[in-house]
Amino acid sequence: MEILDSHPKSIKKAIRYIKQDASKEQLIEIKKLLDYAIKTRIRNLEVDNHEIIS
């Protein structure tokens, strides 16, 4: 688990939950939530970066 050592405790707990306890339905929902959050964050970073460059 040394890959996770540099990440916050909440990420470690989420990964542990996914590996041990999550049902298939929960995994699908978690995937949707993570995909949405990541895409939104990337979009916001790109917009912020573009504003700084302009």
pTM: 0.75
d(CA 13, CA 44): 26
What pLDDT is stored for residue 48 in this prediction? 83
Is residue 51 very low, low, confident or very high in pLDDT (cuts 50, 70, 90)?
confident
Q: Does 1 have pLDDT greater than 70?
A: no
Side-chain-side CA neighbours of 35 within 13 Å: the count stands at 6
Give the domain ranges of the chain.
23-54
Q: Give the model confidence (pLDDT) of 4-49 as tens digits.
A: 788 999 999 999 999 999 999 999 999 999 999 999 999 999 988 7
Is residue 54 very low, low, confident or very high in pLDDT (cuts 50, 70, 90)?
low
